[in-house]
C-alpha cells in the first residue's frame, strides 16, 4: 500500500496487488482453456450418435438436448455392470495406494534420515528398476504370478504396488530430507524412539506430500490396463479399464460408449482429487508444527 | 521394544492384503459356483479365448447352446480385446497353459504352426467336414506349408472389395463398375469423379483414396496377377506385375491427381474418408461395411464391386483370408475341443454373430436370405459370396507385421506412403523396403 | 539421531522385499533373456551377445535413440517450467483457485483414447484447428501434415505429452511449495524483499529438493513415454516418432522378438542410468535440504 503511494504517476490509484490478481486470473483462465478442452470434447462425443463421433470438421454432439441424450451412459451403466467394475477398481487402487503410503514413507524415512550399509546401492537399484519398461518384465512377472498361483485374484494387482513404489519412496525421501534435524534431536532428548519420531513428527509434517503420493498411486493403479487384462479372467473381478475394452471389437469400437465409459471412470478420480487437494494445500495449516 | 511397532505394522499390512483379497475371492467365486450343475459324470472343462469382447454376449449364447447339447463339457469363454488378446495368449503359452480353443488370425497362423503350438486337425476335418458346405477357398491359409494339414478351422472370412458411391457416379454421369472393369475404365471414372466444387485447387471429392496399407495395395497387385513375395514366400521380391500395380497406384496421386496424398488425410480415420463423401471409390476389406453404414448413414447410396483388373490379369484374383479357431497342441481334450469348434463354426454361428461384411464359413448360413440384409446398404451384399470363389494368395508370412508395416507407419507401408506423399521415388523406396523386409524374413528363413 | 544398526533395515524391509521379489526377479529374467532368441510363446534359445551387436549395428536402433533424446530434451524442461508456473499460479490465495487446480490436473486423468482423438483432430492436415489458425491468421500457405510428417510427428507428440504430464508435476511442486513456512516470506517482506527476490532467495532454494525430484521423475517418464505414441502415430511415419520404450514394446509383442527387446531395454537402462547418475553427482551444487 505504501509502495503505490510513493509512485507519483499512479493517478488512477491502481493497486499493484490488484494488477497482479487480474494478471493471475488472465493467466489462469488462458491455461485452463488449454487444459480442459480435450475433456470437454470427450464429453461432447458422448452425446454423438455412433456414426458421428469422428466427423471432421467436428460438430457439436447431435444428441445434445434430444430425448436420447444420455443413452450412451445408460447403456454403459446398465448393460456392462460398470458399478461392479468401479467398486473393484476402487478396492484395487485403494489398497495399492494405502500400501504405498505406508511402505514408501517408511523406506523414505530410512533413506532420508538414517545411515546404513547398502543404502546407496539399494536406492540405486530402486531407481534403476523403474527405468526398465514393463514390456520386457511383464512376461517374467506373469510366470512368477502363475507359479505363485495368484492368477485370477487381485494379489498380482495389489501386492507389488503395495510393497514397492519408486516414485513414492523417492518422493518421501526428498520431502523428509527437508525436515530439519533439530526437530529430531529435540524429540530424541525427550526419549522418543525412531518409529515414534517417524510417526509423530515426520508423517504429520508431510501431509501434503503423502496426499500427493496417495493420489498419484491411486490414479496410476486405477488406470492400469495391462495387468488386470493379463491376471484377471473372471468377469466379476474385472476392473473399470478392462470393462472399457468391452466396447472394442475386432474391427473397431463403439466409440460413444467407450468415451461415455471413460467419462464415468474418471468421476471417482475427480472426487478423490477434490478431497485430496484440500490436504495438499491445507496440510501444514491443519496439522501445524507440533 | 523399539521395533515392536514396526513389526506390528508389517503384520497388519500383510493380514490386510490377505484378508482383503481373500474376502474378495470367496465373495466373487461363489456365485458362478452356485449356478453350476452338480457334476453327474466326468465333466471336462474347455477354456475358449476370443478377441472380440463386443460380441462376447452373443458368443456366450452359442456356448450355452453347445453346453446344453453336451452336458459333460463345460466351456469357459473369455473375451480379450486385441492387442492385449495376443499378449495374454502368449503369456499363457510361455507359462505352458494355453487355453484349449482360441481365435487365430491369418496373419499369425504360420508362425504359431511352426512353433508347434497348434494341433493338427486334418483327420477331424477329413472325417467330419463336407467340403461342399464350406467356403474352402480360404482353407489354404491355415495349412501347414510342409504337410498341407490344417492346423486351425475357419469360422468366417473377409475379402477386399471396391466400395463406390452410387450418387457420385450418377452426378458425374459415369456408369457403375462392372465385372471385368479395367484399370483404364477405373482411371477415366476416377478423373470424372474428382470434383473441385469451389475451384480452390483442392478437390472436395476425390475419385479414389488409398495409402500403403496392405488391404489397399495387395488387392491391386493380385488383380494384375502380381506377387510381392517369391514363390515359397520366404523373400520379399515383387515381380514386374506387382511393380506395375504400384506404379499405376502412384500415378493416380502424383500424375493424375485423382486421389489425395496420404498425408493430406491425416487426422481423419482412414475408414471414414469414403463414408464421409471425400472419395467416390475406395478399396478395403468388406468388414468396413458396418462402419460405412454408420458414418455414411443415409447421406448417399453406395455399393460394392470387384477390384478393377490390371492389364496382366487373366481372371479375377480376390484378396481374402479367414478368421479361425485353433486347438492348442497340448490340449488334454482335443476330441471335445473339435466337437466344440465344429459346433460353433457350423449352423450355430448365426448371421447376427458376423460383423457387417464378414462371411460365415458355413455355406447354408452364408447363403441365407438373412445374410443379404436387404434393409441395409449395400444393395448387393451377395457379391461377397461370388467374389469368394476367386480367393487367391495372401502376403502373410512370419514377421509380416514387421516387414509389411501394420498400424505403425513403418515397413513397406511407410515406404509406400513416402512414395505416395511425393517424398521418395518408387524404385528407391522399393529397394529400401526390400532390404528391410528380407532382413526380417531371413530371421525366419535363413 | 541415535538408533541401533538394525533399525533402518526394519524401515526398508517391506519395500526391499517387494523390490527383490516383484521387481528385481522379473528384471533378472529379462536381462538373461537378452542373450536369447525368444518369441515368448516357445522356449528361448541362447544366442550369446547377438542381440546387442545387432542393436548397435542397426540404423533403426540409433534413429530411435536419437528420437528419444530429442523428445527428452524438449519434454523435461517443458514439463518442469509449465508445472512450476502452474504451481506458483495456483499456490496463490485467490477466490476459486481450487477450481483451477482441478482443471490443470484434468489432462493427467483424462483417458488416453479421448486425448488422442482430440489431438489428432487438432493436428489434422486439412480440417485441424492448428492448420486452420496457421493458414487464416498467420498466412502460412503450406502448413505441415504434423503427424504424417517425418520432421513434425515427434515434436507434435512431445507437445501433447507436456500438456498431459504438467498437471501431475504441478501437484508435486505444489506440495513442495506448501512445505515452505510462510514465516520466512513474512520475515523477508519486513526486510524489504520484493516478490522476485523472495522467489530466488526463498522459494527456489527451498524448493530445490522437490525440483530435483521432479527433474529425475520427469526424466524417467520422458524415457518411458508410450501411451501417446501408441494411440497417436504408432511410431510412424517410418520410425520418425518411435522412441525407445515404444520400440521395445514393438519388438517384444508385435515383431515377436522378446530377446531383442530385452537387449534394447538393457541398453536403455545404461543410457538413462548414466544420465541419472550424472544428475545425482551434480546435485550437491544446487540442491539445498535446509536453509
The closest alpha carbon to B190, from B248, B242, B241, B239, belongs to B248
- Are B211 and B268 in contact by the 8 Å Cβ rule? The answer is no
Mean pLDDT confidence for B405-426 = 93
Mean pLDDT confidence for B397-419 = 92
Residues B278 and B192 occupy one common structural domain: yes
Q: Determine, yes or no, domain membership for C104.
A: yes
Residues B165 and B266 occupy one common structural domain: yes
Residue C151 — very low, low, confident or very high, per pLDDT cuts 50/70/90?
Answer: very high
What local confidence, expressed as pLDDT, does residue A2 receive?
39
pLDDT tens digits for range C2-57: 788 888 999 999 999 999 999 999 999 999 999 999 999 999 999 999 999 999 99
Contacts of A144 in chain B (CB under 8 A): none
All three cell numbers of B130, joined, read 463336407
Which residue range(s) make up the domain with C162? Answer: 58-286
Q: Which residue has the higher pLDDT, B14 or C271?
A: C271
In order of C146, C148, C157, the CA distances from C153 in angstroms are 5, 6, 6
Mean pLDDT confidence for B204-217 = 96
Separation between Cα atoms, residue B173 and residue B192, nearest integer Å: 8
What local confidence, expressed as pLDDT, does residue B40 receive?
52
Task: Provide the b/e sequence for B423-435 (b: ≥16 CB within 10 Å).
Answer: ebebeebbebbbe
The enclosing H or E element of C212 equals: helix C204-223
Q: Do C253 and B115 count as a contact with CB atoms less than 8 A apart? A: no
Beta-bridge partner residues of A277: none
Q: Do C237 and B13 count as a contact with CB atoms less than 8 A apart? A: no
Residues B123 and B137 occupy one common structural domain: yes
Residue A18 — very low, low, confident or very high, per pLDDT cuts 50/70/90?
Answer: confident
The closest alpha carbon to B17, from A167, C21, A273, A102, belongs to A102
CA angle C109, C115, C119 (to 5 degrees): 145
Q: Determine, yes or no, domain membership for C177.
A: yes
Number of domains into which chain C is organized: 1
Residues B184 and B290 occupy one common structural domain: yes
Residue B9 — very low, low, confident or very high, per pLDDT cuts 50/70/90?
Answer: very low
Q: How many CB atoms lie within 10 A of CB A145?
A: 25
Signed CA dihedral, C178, C184, C186, C192: sign only:
negative
Of all residues in chain B, the one with the smallest CA distance to C14 is B10
What local confidence, expressed as pLDDT, does residue B243 receive?
97
Separation between Cα atoms, residue B351 and residue A276, nearest integer Å: 51
Separation between Cα atoms, residue B45 and residue B48, nearest integer Å: 10
The enclosing H or E element of C46 equals: strand C45-46
Q: Determine, yes or no, domain membership for B380.
A: no
All three cell numbers of C21, joined, read 521379489
- Are B239 and B227 in contact by the 8 Å Cβ rule? The answer is yes
What local confidence, expressed as pLDDT, does residue C117 receive?
84
The answer, yes or no, to whether residue B15 has pLDDT greater than 60, is: no
- Cβ contacts of B148 within 8 Å, gap of 6 or more: none
The answer, yes or no, to whether residue B39 has pLDDT greater than 50, is: no
Of all residues in chain B, the one with the smallest CA distance to C253 is B87
What local confidence, expressed as pLDDT, does residue B66 receive?
96
Option in C4, C234, C237 nearest B417 (CB)? C237
Residues B304 and B343 occupy one common structural domain: no
Separation between Cα atoms, residue A118 and residue A121, nearest integer Å: 5
- Are B320 and B396 in contact by the 8 Å Cβ rule? The answer is no
Which range among A33-42, A56-65, B277-286, C58-67 shows the weakest confidence by mean pLDDT?
A56-65
The closest alpha carbon to A230, from A161, A159, A143, belongs to A143
CATH code at A90-222+271-287: 1.10.3720.10
Residues B174 and B151 occupy one common structural domain: no
Count how many Cα atoms sit within 13 Å of the Cα of residue A269 in the half-sphere of its side chain.
28
Residue B411 to chain A, least CA–CA distance (Å): 22
Q: Which residue has the higher pLDDT, B36 or A56?
A: A56
Separation between Cα atoms, residue B117 and residue B140, nearest integer Å: 18
Residue A146 to chain B, least CA–CA distance (Å): 7
In terms of Cβ atoms closer than 10 Å to its own Cβ (0-12, 13-18, 19+), residue A43 is middle
Mean pLDDT confidence for C186-192 = 86
pLDDT tens digits for range B44-78: 999 999 998 888 889 999 999 999 999 999 999 99
Q: What pTM was computed for the model? A: 0.90
What local confidence, expressed as pLDDT, does residue B322 receive?
95
SS (H, E, C) chain B: CCCHHHHHHHHHHHHHHHHHHHHHHHHHHHHHHHHCCCCCCCCEEEEEEECCHHHHHHHHHHHHHHHHHCCCEEEEEEECCCCHHHHHHHHHHHCCCCCCEEEEECCCHHHHHHCCCECCCHHHHHHHCCHHHECHHHHHHHECCCCCCECCEEEEEEEEEEEEEHHHHHHHCCCCCCCCCEHHHHHHHHHHHCECCCCCCCCCEEEEECCCCHHHHHHHHHCCCCCCECCCCCCECCCHHHHHHHHHHHHHHHCCCCCCCHHHHCCCCHHHCCCCCCEEEEEEEHHHHHHHHHHHCCCCCEEEECCCECCCCCCCCECEEEEEEEEECCCCCHHHHHHHHHHHHCCCCCHHHCCCCCEECEHHHHCCHHHHCCCCCCCCCCHHHHHHHHECCCCCCCCHHHHHHCCCCCHHHHHHHHHHCCCCCHHHHHHHHHHHHHHHHHHHCC
Residue A282 — very low, low, confident or very high, per pLDDT cuts 50/70/90?
Answer: low
Asked if B104 is an interface residue toward chain A (Cβ–Cβ < 8 A), one would say: no
> Which one-letter DSSP state was computed for residue A249?
E
What local confidence, expressed as pLDDT, does residue A56 receive?
65
Separation between Cα atoms, residue B94 and residue B32, nearest integer Å: 28
To the nearest whole number, what is the mean pLDDT of chain A? 85
Q: Do B414 and C238 count as a contact with CB atoms less than 8 A apart? A: yes
Asked if B288 is an interface residue toward chain A (Cβ–Cβ < 8 A), one would say: yes
Q: Please state the φ and ψ torsions of residue A260, each to the nearest 5 degrees.
A: -65, -45
Give me the residues of B, 6-65, that contact A with CB < 8 A: 6, 9, 13, 16-17, 20-21, 24-25, 28-29, 31-32, 51-56
Which residue range(s) make up the domain with B69? Answer: 42-158+321-372
Q: Determine, yes or no, domain membership for C118.
A: yes
What local confidence, expressed as pLDDT, does residue B144 receive?
93
Q: Determine, yes or no, domain membership for B312.
A: yes
CA angle A138, A141, A147 (to 5 degrees): 145
Q: Determine, yes or no, domain membership for B381.
A: no
Of all residues in chain C, the one with the smallest CA distance to B98 is C41
Q: Determine, yes or no, domain membership for B27.
A: no
Q: Determine, yes or no, domain membership for B290.
A: yes
Contacts of B402 in chain C (CB under 8 A): 254-256
pLDDT tens digits for range C84-143: 999 999 988 888 888 999 999 999 988 887 888 889 888 999 888 899 889 888 888 889
Domain at C128, CATH number: 1.10.3720.10
Residues B408 and B261 occupy one common structural domain: yes
Domain at B163, CATH number: 3.40.190.10
Separation between Cα atoms, residue C178 and residue A190, nearest integer Å: 28
What local confidence, expressed as pLDDT, does residue B328 receive?
97
Residues B132 and B56 occupy one common structural domain: yes
Q: Determine, yes or no, domain membership for B183.
A: yes
ipTM: 0.89
Residues B163 and B142 occupy one common structural domain: no
Contacts of B323 in chain A (CB under 8 A): 250
pLDDT tens digits for range A163-196: 999 999 999 998 898 888 888 888 888 888 889 9
Percent of chain B with pLDDT over 90: 76
Residue B22 — very low, low, confident or very high, per pLDDT cuts 50/70/90?
Answer: very low
The answer, yes or no, to whether residue A101 has pLDDT greater than 50, is: yes
- Are B163 and B292 in contact by the 8 Å Cβ rule? The answer is yes
Q: Determine, yes or no, domain membership for C5.
A: no
Residue B386 — very low, low, confident or very high, per pLDDT cuts 50/70/90?
Answer: very high
Q: Determine, yes or no, domain membership for C45.
A: no
Q: Would you kindly state where each structural domain of chain A is located, as residue ranges? A: 1-7+14-37, 90-222+271-287
Which range among A64-73, A105-114, A213-222, B330-339 shows the weakest confidence by mean pLDDT?
A64-73
Separation between Cα atoms, residue A46 and residue A258, nearest integer Å: 8
The answer, yes or no, to whether residue B162 has pLDDT greater than 60, is: yes
Residue A16 to chain B, least CA–CA distance (Å): 46
All three cell numbers of A41, joined, read 470434447
Instruction: Reduce the DSSP state of residue A248 to 3 states and report it.
Output: strand
Number of domains into which chain B is organized: 2
Q: Determine, yes or no, domain membership for C16.
A: no
Contacts of B266 in chain C (CB under 8 A): 123-125, 145-148
Q: Which of A135-149, B396-410, C194-208 has the highest mean pLDDT?
A: A135-149
| Residue that is written with C-alpha cell 495399492 in the block | A96
- Are C212 and C287 in contact by the 8 Å Cβ rule? The answer is yes
Instruction: Reduce the DSSP state of residue A253 to 3 states and report it.
Output: strand
Amino acid at each position: 500500500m505504501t509502495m503505490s503511494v510513493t509512485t507519483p504517476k499512479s493517478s488512477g490509484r491502481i493497486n499493484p496487488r490488484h494488477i497482479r490478481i487480474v494478471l493471475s486470473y488472465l493467466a489462469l483462465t488462458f491455461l485452463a482453456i488449454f487444459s480442459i478442452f480435450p475433456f470437454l470434447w470427450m464429453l461432447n462425443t458422448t452425446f454423438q450418435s455412433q456414426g458421428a463421433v469422428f466427423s471432421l470438421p467436428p460438430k457439436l454432439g447431435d444428441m445434445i438436448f434430444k430425448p436420447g441424450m444420455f443413452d450412451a451412459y445408460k447403456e454403459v451403466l446398465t448393460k456392462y455392470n460398470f458399478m461392479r467394475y468401479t467398486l473393484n477398481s476402487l478396492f484395487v487402487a485403494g489398497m495399492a495406494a494405502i500400501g504405498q503410503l505406508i511402505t514408501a514413507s517408511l523406506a523414505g524415512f530410512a533413506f532420508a534420515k538414517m545411515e546404513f550399509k547398502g543404502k546407496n546401492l539399494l536406492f540405486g537399484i530402486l531407481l534403476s528398476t523403474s527405468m526398465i519398461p514393463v514390456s520386457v518384465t511383464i512376461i517374467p512377472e506373469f510366470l512368477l504370478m502363475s507359479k505363485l498361483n495368484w492368477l485370477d485374484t487381485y494379489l498380482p494387482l495389489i501386492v507389488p504396488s503395495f510393497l514397492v513404489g519408486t516414485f513414492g519412496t523417492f518422493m518421501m525421501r526428498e520431502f523428509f530430507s527437508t525436515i530439519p534435524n533439530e526437530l529430531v534431536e529435540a524429540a530424541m532428548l525427550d526419549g522418543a524412539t525412531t518409529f515414534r519420531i517417524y510417526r509423530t513428527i515426520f508423517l504429520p509434517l508431510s501431509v501434503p506430500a503423502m496426499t500427493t503420493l496417495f493420489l498419484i498411486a491411486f490414479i496410476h493403479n486405477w488406470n492400469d490396463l495391462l495387468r488386470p487384462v493379463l491376471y484377471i479372467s473372471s468377469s466379476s473381478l474385472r476392473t473399470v479399464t478392462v470393462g472399457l475394452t468391452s466396447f472394442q471389437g475386432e474391427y473397431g469400437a463403439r466409440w460413444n460408449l467407450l468415451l461415455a465409459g471413460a467419462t464415468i471412470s474418471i468421476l471417482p478420480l475427480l472426487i478423490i482429487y477434490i478431497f485430496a487437494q484440500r490436504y495438499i494445500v491445507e496440510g501444514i495449516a491443519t496439522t501445524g508444527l507440533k | 521394544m523399539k521395533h515392536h511397532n514396526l513389526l506390528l505394522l508389517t503384520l497388519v499390512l500383510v493380514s490386510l492384503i490377505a484378508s482383503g483379497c481373500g474376502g474378495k475371492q470367496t465373495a466373487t467365486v461363489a456365485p458362478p459356483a452356485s449356478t453350476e450343475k452338480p457334476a453327474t459324470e466326468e465333466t471336462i472343462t474347455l477354456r475358449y479365448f476370443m478377441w472380440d469382447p463386443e460380441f462376447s454376449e452373443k458368443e456366450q449364447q452359442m456356448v450355452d447352446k453347445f453346453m446344453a447339447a453336451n452336458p459333460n463339457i463345460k466351456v469357459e469363454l473369455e473375451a480379450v480385446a486385441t492387442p492385449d488378446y495376443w499378449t495374454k495368449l502368449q503369456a499363457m503359452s510361455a507359462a505352458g497353459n494355453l487355453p484349449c480353443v482360441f481365435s487365430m488370425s491369418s496373419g499369425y497362423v504360420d508362425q504359431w504352426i511352426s512353433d508347434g503350438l497348434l494341433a493338427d486337425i486334418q483327420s477331424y476335418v477329413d472325417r467330419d467336414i463336407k467340403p461342399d458346405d464350406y467356403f474352402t477357398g480360404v482353407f489354404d491359409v491355415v495349412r501347414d506349408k510342409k504337410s498341407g494339414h490344417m492346423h486351425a478351422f475357419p469360422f468366417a472370412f473377409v475379402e477386399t472389395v471396391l466400395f463406390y458411391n452410387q450418387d457420385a457416379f450418377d452426378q458425374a454421369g459415369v456408369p457403375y463398375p462392372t465385372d471385368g472393369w479395367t484399370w483404364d475404365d477405373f482411371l477415366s471414372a476416377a478423373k470424372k469423379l474428382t470434383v473441385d466444387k469451389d475451384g480452390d485447387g483442392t478437390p472436395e471429392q476425390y475419385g479414389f483414396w488409398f495409402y500403403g496399407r496392405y488391404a489397399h495395395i495387395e488387392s491391386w497387385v493380385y488383380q494384375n496377377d502380381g506377387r510381392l513375395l517369391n514363390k515359397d514366400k520366404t523373400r520379399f521380391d515383387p515381380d514386374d506385375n506387382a511393380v506395375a500395380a504400384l506404379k499405376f497406384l502412384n500415378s493416380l496421386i502424383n500424375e493424375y491427381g485423382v486421389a489425395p496424398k496420404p498425408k493430406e488425410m491425416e487426422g481423419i480415420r482412414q475408414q471414414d474418408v469414403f463414408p464421409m463423401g471425400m472419395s467416390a471409390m475406395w478399396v478395403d476389406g468388406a468388414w468396413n461395411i458396418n462402419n460405412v453404414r454408420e458414418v455414411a448413414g443415409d447421406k448417399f447410396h453406395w455399393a460394392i464391386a470387384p477390384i478393377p483388373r490390371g492389364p496382366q490379369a487373366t481372371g479375377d484374383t480376390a484378396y481374402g483370408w479367414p478368421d479361425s479357431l485353433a486347438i492348442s497342441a497340448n490340449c488334454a481334450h482335443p476330441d471335445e475341443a473339435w466337437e466344440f469348434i465344429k459346433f460353433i463354426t457350423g449352423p450355430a454361428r448365426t448371421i447376427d454373430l458376423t460383423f457387417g461384411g464378414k462371411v460365415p464359413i458355413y455355406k447354408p448360413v452364408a447363403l441365407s436370405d438373412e445374410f443379404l440384409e436387404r434393409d441395409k446398404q449395400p444393395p448387393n451384399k451377395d457379391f461377397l459370396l461370388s467374389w469368394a470363389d476367386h480367393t487367391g494368395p495372401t502376403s502373410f508370412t512370419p514377421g509380416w507385421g514387421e516387414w509389411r508395416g501394420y498400424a505403425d507407419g513403418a515397413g513397406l507401408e511407410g515406404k509406400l506412403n513416402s512414395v505416395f506423399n511425393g517424398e521418395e521415388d518408387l524404385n528407391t523406396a522399393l529397394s529400401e523396403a526390400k532390404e528391410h523386409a528380407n532382413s526380417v524374413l531371413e530371421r525366419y528363413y535363413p | 539421531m541415535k538408533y541401533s544398526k538394525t533399525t533402518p533395515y526394519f524401515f526398508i524391509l517391506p519395500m526391499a522385499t517387494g523390490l527383490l521379489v516383484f521387481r528385481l526377479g522379473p528384471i533378472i529374467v529379462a536381462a538373461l533373456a537378452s542373450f536369447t532368441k525368444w518369441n515368448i510363446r516357445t522356449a528361448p534359445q541362447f544366442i550369446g551377445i547377438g542381440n546387442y551387436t545387432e542393436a548397435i549395428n542397426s540404423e533403426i536402433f540409433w534413429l530411435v535413440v536419437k528420437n528419444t533424446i530429442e523428445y527428452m530434451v524438449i519434454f523435461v524442461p517443458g514439463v518442469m517450467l509449465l508445472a512450476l508456473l502452474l504451481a506458483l499460479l495456483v499456490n496463490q490465495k485467490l477466490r476459486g483457485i481450487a477450481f483451477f487446480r482441478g482443471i490443470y490436473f484434468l489432462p493427467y486423468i483424462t483417458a488416453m483414447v479421448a486425448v488422442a482423438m482430440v489431438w489428432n483432430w487438432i493436428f489434422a492436415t486439412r480440417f485441424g484447428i492448428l492448420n486452420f489458425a496457421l493458414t487464416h491468421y498467420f498466412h502460412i500457405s503450406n502448413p505441415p501434415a504434423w503427424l504424417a510428417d517425418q520432421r513434425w510427428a515427434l515434436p507434435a507428440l512431445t507437445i501433447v505429452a507436456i500438456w498431459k504430464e504438467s498437471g501431475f508435476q504441478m501437484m508435486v511442486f505444489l506440495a513442495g511449495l506448501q512445505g515452505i513456512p510462510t514465516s520466512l516470506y513474512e520475515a523477508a517482506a519486513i526486510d524489504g524483499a520484493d516478490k522476485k527476490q523472495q522467489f530466488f532467495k526463498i522459494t527456489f532454494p527451498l524448493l530445490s529438493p522437490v525440483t530435483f525430484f521432479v527433474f529425475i521423475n520427469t526424466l524417467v517418464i520422458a524415457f518411458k513415454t508410450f501411451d501417446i505414441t501408441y494411440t497417436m502415430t504408432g511410431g510412424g511415419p517410418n520410425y520418425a516418432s518411435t522412441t525407445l520404450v515404444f520400440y521395445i514394446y514393438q519388438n517384444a509383442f508385435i515383431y515377436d522378438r522378446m530377446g531383442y527387446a530385452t537387449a534394447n531395454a538393457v541398453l536403455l537402462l545404461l543410457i538413462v542410468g548414466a544420465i541419472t547418475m550424472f544428475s545425482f553427482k551434480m546435485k550437491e551444487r544446487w540442491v539445498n535440504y535446509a536453509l
